[in-house]
Structure 1
Amino acid sequence: MTILHVPEQHRKPSDEGGLFLRALAWVLLRVVPKASPDYDRHFKEVAYWLVEVDAEGKAEREIGFNTQHEPVFFAPTNRNCGLWTDSDRIFSREQFESRDDFPFDSTWNNLYAQTLQGTRSL
């Protein structure tokens, strides 16, 4: 597995397109169940992601960090599918900075354990 540093673009699909597309996105966002319900509250806090990808570049796990380098949320969990892990995006190792030096596995597992214990809301 490889860990990639992915900068956040702070862009939602509803921010693009004409009036019709924005209206359609607004309706769909309220009707279709969300795959990651906790992401909406914290999405604007994310400055960058560390994404664990497999050999083909498919996202396996992700952690979103704020500007203070604190984890804001992570996925997938039993409640949140994730942004990158729930997409069909294939990451190129040449396009993003590798962060294999970051203790991703222990950080992700610690966040998950805190969630299971109820000491973390995400």
Structure 2
Amino acid sequence: AEALTLLVVEDDADAAASLTEMLTEAGHSVVGPFHSAAAAEAAAALHAIDAALLDINLSGEMTGVELAEVLTSRWDVRVIFISGDVTAAARHADLAEALVLKPYNGAQILEAVARLGRTG
């Protein structure tokens, strides 16, 4: 599978750490993890990012949905939503190339990322 540079935005510290570790072990470069959209947006301005794994409900002012809008419009970053909020994810499905519902397992995340690598 193609190695991608992935932005990880997840406000649950344990989930963010395990996600980052799993993606790194799979050969991807990880920018983050960030717990707020503002920090992630600042990082996106500094790094060439292939795709972002975004939680929808984040700490701070901006939601993952708003961050997805910025990332896709400004930098053409592809988005995977990672969320337990099925309603919000479904309502904004047009912004994301994939949705992985919580609780998820590593295989689900890696498969969603692999699909991005194949379509890009």
**TM-score scaled by length of structure 2:** 0.26
Greater RCO (Cα-Cα under 8 Å, separation 6 or more): 1
